[in-house]
Chains A and B, each alone.
Chain A
Amino acid sequence: KNEVEQSPQNLTAQEGEFITINCSYSVGISALHWLQQHPGGGIVSLFMLSSGKKKHGRLIATINIQEKHSSLHITASHPRDSAVYICAVTGTASKLTFGTGTRLQVTL
């Protein structure tokens, strides 16, 4: 079992839909990261969380430390949100572990 599990692996949505991507982890962590990678592109950090909830524009990230679970929400999705979204955790030994990513396609 991977230390970081994401679901779903693939997601197709229509423009305007509310999207949720989930991340579960099995190790103790000091931080959880949500990353975005566009096709053929680099990787951008969206959020870093150690507790609670953060919001940036149409993106919201939450984390439940007790349940070892985080969600990334996209409100009013747009085709430019099409990308791979990656959950990563910094373990208590400072090691960084990645989930396998969620490929999101938003259509008109």
Chain B
Amino acid sequence: NAGVTQTPKFRILKIGQSMTLQCTQDMNHNYMYWYRQDPGMGLKLIYYSVGAGITDKGEVPNGYNVSRSTTEDFPLRLELAAPSQTSVYFCASSYSARFPGSRYNSPLHFGNGTRLTVT
């Protein structure tokens, strides 16, 4: 299994440009998450999805969009890049049987991150 794969690893954007950060998992996980980590700061949840066709906003969704058309893929779209979006972006996934303590629940699996600079 490849686990959680994020692409690209690095990207530099100019203000106003758009891009899509890709995230794919091959573990049949129903839950997927996008979050950002600013230098020296904690992780902030951007968007999450509990299954194909279902997405929800996290703490800091402004300036981003997501879609979940398949179980495997959860791309994050930046439409009009701004310097405030300079950050490291992590994708994560897990399986939840929606029953706390279920032996089918899995831990979180993380991608290696995408370092994005907007200048």
CB-defined contacts of A76 to chain B, threshold 8 Å: none
Stretch at the interface among A13-21, A45-53, A67-75: A45-53
Question: Which A residues are in CB contact (< 8 Å) with B53?
Answer: none
The answer to whether the Cβ of A30 comes within 8 Å of any Cβ in the partner chain is yes
What interface size band does chain A fall in? 20 to 34
Q: Give the complex CA separation of A29 and B48 in angstroms.
A: 16
Cβ-defined contact, B110 with A100, below 8 A: no
Q: A66 an interface residue at 8 Å Cβ cutoff?
A: no
CB of A86 within 8 A of CB of B43, answer: yes
Chain B residue, CB-CB nearest to A48: B107
B96 & A97 in contact (Cβ 8 Å cutoff): no
The DSSP consensus for interface residues of chain A is: strand
Does B45 reach chain A (CB closer than 8 Å)?
Answer: yes
Within 8 A of A (CB), among B46-70: 48, 50, 56, 58-59
Q: Does B74 contact A (CB under 8 A)?
A: no
A96 interface residue (CB < 8 Å to B) = yes
Q: A50-B101, A97-B45, A100-B42 given as contacts; is B96 within 8 A of A90 (CB)? A: yes
* A78-108 interface bits toward B, Cβ cutoff 8 Å, 1 = contact, 0 = none: 0000000010101000111111110000000
Give me 14 A-to-B residue pairs in the complex whose CB atoms sit less than 8 angstroms apart, sorted by A's number.
A29-B100, A33-B108, A42-B110, A43-B92, A45-B110, A47-B107, A48-B106, A48-B108, A94-B48, A95-B56, A96-B33, A96-B45, A98-B42, A101-B42
- A-to-B contact residues, CB < 8 Å: 29-31, 33, 35, 42-45, 47-48, 50-51, 86, 88, 90, 94-101
Given contacts A33-B107, A98-B44, 13 further A-B contacts (CB under 8 A): A31-B96, A42-B113, A45-B107, A45-B109, A45-B110, A47-B107, A48-B107, A50-B100, A86-B43, A90-B96, A95-B45, A95-B56, A101-B42
